[in-house]
Amino acid sequence: MIQPMFQREARMILADLYAGFLHHEDFLQMMSEIVVDKPLEGSTPQHPKREVRTLVVNDFENAPSAQIRFKWARAENPDDIEPGWTLCAQEHWDEAKRRKDMMPKKTARLKDPIDALDDLIGEYF
C-alpha cells in the first residue's frame, strides 16, 4: 500500500518501481486523483478525524494494465468498528496455542559450523 505521499521525487521513484509501462505524468496524475489525506469536519488535534485513501499496488500482477495492477482503499473509521473486535476469533488463538504446546521442545545442541562443514566434506571425499 502506498500511503499518502506528496513529494514529486518520491512519486517518481514509485513510478519507476511499479509503473514502468506508464508515462511518469500519467502515473503522477493517477496518484493525485487517488491518494487523499484530508481532515474531516469536527477534527481536533486531540481527536483527529481524517479521510485517507491510499493506492494499492498489486505487485504480484505482472500485467501492463493499470486497471489490474492498481486499486485504491479507503481507511475505516475506528469508531465504526465494534468493540472487542479482533483479527481472528478466540478459537483461532486457542488452537494456535494448543498446537504450539504440542510441538516437541528443541534440546539438540547446534553444531559448530566448521564441524558441520567437515562432516559434509568427509561424506564426499
Render the chain in DSSP notation, one character per residue.
-B-----HHHHHHHHHHH-TTS-HHHHHHHHHHH-EEEEPTT--SSS--EEEEEEEE-TT---S-HHHHEEEEEPPPGGGSPTT--SS-HHHHHHHHHHHHHSPPP-PPPPPHHHHHHHHHHHH-
Which of 28-42, 43-57, 100-114 shows the lowest per-residue confidence on average (mean pLDDT)?
Answer: 100-114
Judge whether residue 105 has pLDDT over 80. Answer: no
pTM of the complete model: 0.49
Calculate mean pLDDT across residues 63-91: 74
